[in-house]
A and B are shown apart, each in its own frame.
Chain A
Amino acid sequence: MATPDPGQLALPSGNGAVEHRPLGVFTRPSSSKGWRSWFTSVDHKKIGVMYGAAALFFFIIGGLEALLIRVQLWAPRGTLLTADEYNQVFTMHGTTMIFLVVMPIGAAFANYLMPLQIGARDVAFPRINAFSFWCFLFGGIFLNTAWFLGGGADGGWFMYAPNSSVVFSPGHGIDFWNIGLLITGIASLTGAVNLIVTVLNMRAPGMTLMKMPVFTWMTLVTQFLLLFAIPVLTAAQVLLLFDRAFDANFFNVEAGGDPLLWQHLFWIFGHPEVYLMILPAFGLVSDILPVFSRKPIFGYPFIVFSGIAIGFMGWGVWAHHMFVSGIGPVSVLVFSLTTMFIAVPTGVKILNWTATMARGKLKLDTPMLFCIGLITMFTIGGISGVTHSVAPADTQQTDTYYIVAHFHYVLFGGAFFGFMAGFYFYWPKVFGYLMNETLGKVNFWLMFVGFNLTFGPMHVLGLQGMSRRIYTYDAGYGFEFWNQVATIGAFVLAGSIALFIFNIFYSRAKAKSMANPGPDPWDARTIEWMIPSPVPEYNFDPIPTITRRDDFWYRKYGETEDHMPVRIAATDEVCQSAEGEHDVHLPSPSYWPIVTAFGLPIVGYGLLYTHWLSLIGGLIVVAGIYGWALEPPDDPEAEHDHHDDDHGPVGEVEPDRAEDEDLSESEKEVETVG
């Protein structure tokens, strides 16, 4: 292999001499402080926070789109939006909420939390992790620039062919949708590889798979789903891109193309997509519920294996989106049955969560309220889901508001309630201050009421025949009353989101005069709570050795023979301290992920406007990849000679011995108590 020319874009490895910086800006950045560091950070925590912040930003955009929809449907023949505008708004609402809100919030928790739950220093490929985030952000922004360049996509988030062809949608909206999601698809795919490798390879000593927290398990399942689902969507989107940009005929009926091909490809992606949106929330609830029930998750193996079962079965149900497409009675029958039985593992989870609460000591703090909200509201969505699996019933229900009600109970009542629980629960860990509890409870009840008022009535509207994706309806169909209730509900819901955002800033202001909540404000169970809040850059020091599930809890409590908990150590004693010197070797920041990702939307604009621009974008991507590859493996100025171990704190002698001591100490205590 040729030695990189030091005059090129990056510095050769290990050579820290200043004269080797002909392009100074592209030498490896070193600072992890200040606003600039966010652009070059490879720290999984910063990337997780950025995922969350970007997702909340897109959530506000998607929410405003939702309010436009609800105002338009307040009364018959609404005039706020034209038909064309409405079609763009509902398409972008669905696309935004799925690809730019629910998926990235899942990614935010996975990025921030999963490495902490397994006691890792960072993810396996920190720069790829940053690249994933920037791809997601640039893809999302690219998608939304359509609003300023002729209008958003107007084909529905499912973008059925042939309505998505140039003939039926001549504007650029669908191209923005298509290319934007191809870019975010790169984010999901690289992220999936990264997180799978992280879970499988970077767990702390002693943490076997069956000792992992449930959220980490669900992240693993989710990332496998992404790994296999995203390429199918990408393939379909490339076909659509060729149809629209280069006059190919994959979906052109006149030339013998098949519109059902798109449907099969889209839903082979689209149904696993549903599960990869909900499983992270299931994971969060499975970890939060035990903390506030003061007892372990009921039937951990059943919770884990039902999640895995959902992951597998999720691949065998896609055609239930096509019960009315004309796939024939045999296919309908098979997919009807597989869809029914995917309710079994989901039901197991619900019952195990309920049993976790039974005979506990329930602390009804805000995260717990959202968990209970998820269990009950998701159950409604799950049950209406079973009614769709009955294929003949689905021929009445599909493409009506009954479906809209169903998936909002699943994705809002399920996934988003779970995320809210996660926000309130992990806020002190991430930002070092607790959210105001009173505001939090009002937040929950407002959201609970607003959510039910908005989406509950849609069940009735759908069963009484109101179609989806209609920009207006006429008087005389009996749709007025429940639409008005839903619109009122939507504003209540928007109020609850506003209250949440207010609570963030209010609590932050209040926190300045309050003490740090400490590592473990909830008396929690999993190891991310044994490190300081907010989490130091190096996460753990030292990396803990794991002896059992809920390892942190059992450092604090032992159990008698009849499973009664006994305090064996004060929380302070078993938590790590931020004080003292922590000379931990961490991956250096890098410019290249953001540079490489930045080239992609430029390629996209080039495909739409002038192909020369694509060339420039392509060159940026290639230059980014070269710079990335040739970048020195470390910050040239860092002295890393005295440490070749990735996780050795100063003064730690033999990691093995320290771990042994740790282990024997906790086990001894348990035995004494027993």
Chain B
Amino acid sequence: MSRFRSPVAKVLIVASLALFVVLWGAMIWTAFEHDAVPLTTLDPQGPFSTMIDDLVAPVFIIGGMVFVGVLGAVMYFVLRYREKGDDDLELPKQTHGHTAAEVAWTIAPGIVLAVVAFLTVGVILDLSAEEEGALRVEVYGAQWWWGYNYDITGDRSFDSDGDISTANELVIPVGRPVELRITSMDVIHSFWIPALNGKADAVPGMHRDWKIQADAPGVYRGQCTEFCGLSHANMRMLVRAIPADEFDEWVARQQQPAADPPADNELAVAGQEQFVNLCASCHLVDGLNNEQIAQLHEDDEFPLVAGVAPDLTHFRSRGTFAGGIYNLTYPNPAGDDSPFGATCTLEDLENCGDPTDIGLAGNPDNPLYRPFIEDWLRNPPAMKPMAAEEGRGMPNLNLTQEQIDQLVAYLDTLR
């Protein structure tokens, strides 16, 4: 066989191996950098995600040691036992095996895995245990957004008087476990807030229990992770965790139906009319079109595919829209992820973050950022691929700029 021992060859080999080492070194280094990676699984912010992280860390370490061991052995054998030239012809001893060694390295990984298994069993059971004093929220996925029904009254029903409904942004109290009952309106989705817990599939016709909890106030991002059709990539959600007293205030506001816009806001009054004509057959604004939407649900008992769209009663209390993929309001500057509380006004936008950076979620108390919502009303499928002609997603309503201005003015009043 031809030899491959030219200097060029050596450079090629050394460069390849060096690249391999540098690549893996850089990968491990950056994996544990948590700045500007809002979906990272390695920076837990709640007790459940911390349990997972504590479990996976030793597994990673053991795995790394095993790999270094195997790689080291292979490299050593290659260097030590490689043929040393064309005249190196002596054949080695024909060893067929060594039963004791083989039994040993069958049992040894078994023992290591038994330790991992022991740790895993405990965490699986802890993660499936019910939590005392939890807030219960029904979570449902729909193509391509998320809806939430809160059991505020604690009667284990999600639609008694005083319970609230919202969409895409889940607001929770800090330090209190939240029990999720997850389901789907159409296909299978998966609810995942990496900082707070692993993911759980939303399966139509099935409710499954899951739980999250945040240890500190903040905005925690999530992404649908079960392929759910056309706009799977654009199905995001976020959790705003706030202190318990603020949460109670938030709930009190959400319990109110939407008020009509003040009469002196002519644009918004006109917008409400447009809403009733154009939007009210799919979107609920509590206090405006309840009967229309209720009828829709009655006609279609399991509202697969069509007939539901996000609840807009308190639309302006959210910082993002369209499945969490566009900012509705200006975000806080980078580094400040307070879920609520204004940081800027329209006059002084320097204290705002860049609204086109979706990694910085809009803060509902900051001013409205108009370009995205206007573009959306102008042509929704251009902003997010949808199959409205098949009854899934929002169609292009061919609105005029005047209609858009009126609708934005109305939506801005839905606080």
CA distance A520 to B258 in the complex (A): 85
For chain B, give the interface size range.
35 or more
Complex partner residue of A562 from B93, B105, B198, CB under 8 angstroms = B93
Contact B41 A460 (CB under 8 A): no
Contact B124 A449 (CB under 8 A): no
Number of interface residues, chain A, beta carbon within 8 A: 115
Contacts known (A354-B74, A478-B36); A399 close to B113, Cβ less than 8 A: no
Contact B223 A467 (CB under 8 A): yes
A333 / chain B contacts, CB cutoff of 8 Å: 121, 124-125
Complex partner residue of B59 from A162, A386, A474, CB under 8 angstroms = A386
Q: How far is the CB of B80 from chain A (nearest CB, A)?
A: 9
CA distance A357 to B72 in the complex (A): 13
A474 / chain B contacts, CB cutoff of 8 Å: 325, 358-359
Q: Which of chain A's residues has its CB closest to B27's CB?
A: A460
Digitize A147-178: 1 where CB-to-B-CB distance is under 8 Å, 0 elsewhere. 00000001110001011000111100000000
Contact A396 B70 (CB under 8 A): no
Q: How far is the CB of B139 from chain A (nearest CB, A)?
A: 13
Contacts known (A83-B385, A354-B70, A476-B358); A361 close to B90, Cβ less than 8 A: yes
Contact A465 B41 (CB under 8 A): yes
Contact B105 A396 (CB under 8 A): no
Contacts known (A467-B225, A474-B358); A459 close to B109, Cβ less than 8 A: no
Contact B225 A376 (CB under 8 A): no
Q: How far is the CB of A254 from chain B (nearest CB, A)?
A: 5
Contact B81 A359 (CB under 8 A): yes
Contacts known (A360-B81, A470-B233); A396 close to B56, Cβ less than 8 A: yes
Q: Does B250 belong to the interface (CB within 8 Å)? A: no
Contact A395 B92 (CB under 8 A): no
Interface of chain A residues 336 through 395 with chain B (CB within 8 A): 336-337, 340-341, 343-344, 347-348, 350-352, 354-355, 357-365, 372, 375-376, 379-380, 383-384, 386-387, 390-395
Q: Does A298 belong to the interface (CB within 8 Å)? A: yes
Q: How far is the CB of A434 from chain B (nearest CB, A)?
A: 9
Contacts known (A259-B205, A398-B225, A472-B233); A361 close to B67, Cβ less than 8 A: no
Contact B93 A470 (CB under 8 A): no
Q: Does A23 belong to the interface (CB within 8 Å)? A: no
A354 / chain B contacts, CB cutoff of 8 Å: 70, 73-74, 77
Digitize B3-47: 1 where CB-to-A-CB distance is under 8 Å, 0 elsewhere. 010000100110010011001100100110000111111100000
Q: What are 27 pairs between A and B in contact, CB < 8 Å?
A: A155-B227, A163-B187, A168-B187, A258-B205, A259-B188, A259-B203, A337-B121, A341-B110, A347-B109, A355-B98, A360-B92, A379-B67, A390-B116, A399-B199, A399-B225, A448-B16, A453-B23, A456-B27, A464-B37, A465-B194, A466-B39, A467-B232, A474-B325, A475-B359, A477-B37, A477-B38, A477-B359
Closest 6 CB pairs of A and B: A476-B359, A395-B198, A465-B39, A470-B233, A326-B208, A299-B97
Beyond the given A350-B70, A360-B92, A391-B120, please list 10 additional residue pairs across the A-B interface where CB-CB is below 8 A.
A298-B97, A300-B97, A379-B70, A392-B51, A397-B41, A399-B226, A449-B19, A469-B227, A473-B233, A563-B95
Interface residues, chain B, with chain A CB atoms under 8 Å away: 1-2, 4, 9, 12-13, 16, 19-20, 23-24, 27, 30-31, 36-42, 49, 51-52, 55-56, 59-60, 63-64, 66-67, 70-71, 73-74, 77-78, 81-83, 88, 90-99, 101-102, 105-106, 109-110, 113, 116-117, 120-121, 123-125, 127-128, 143, 182, 186-188, 190, 194, 197-201, 203-206, 208, 221, 223-234, 302, 304-305, 325, 357-360, 385, 390, 392
Interface residues, chain A, with chain B CB atoms under 8 Å away: 82-84, 87, 154-156, 160, 162-163, 167-170, 253-254, 256, 258-260, 293-296, 298-302, 324-326, 329, 332-333, 336-337, 340-341, 343-344, 347-348, 350-352, 354-355, 357-365, 372, 375-376, 379-380, 383-384, 386-387, 390-400, 437-438, 441-442, 445, 448-449, 452-453, 456-457, 459-460, 463-478, 481-482, 485, 557, 559, 562-565
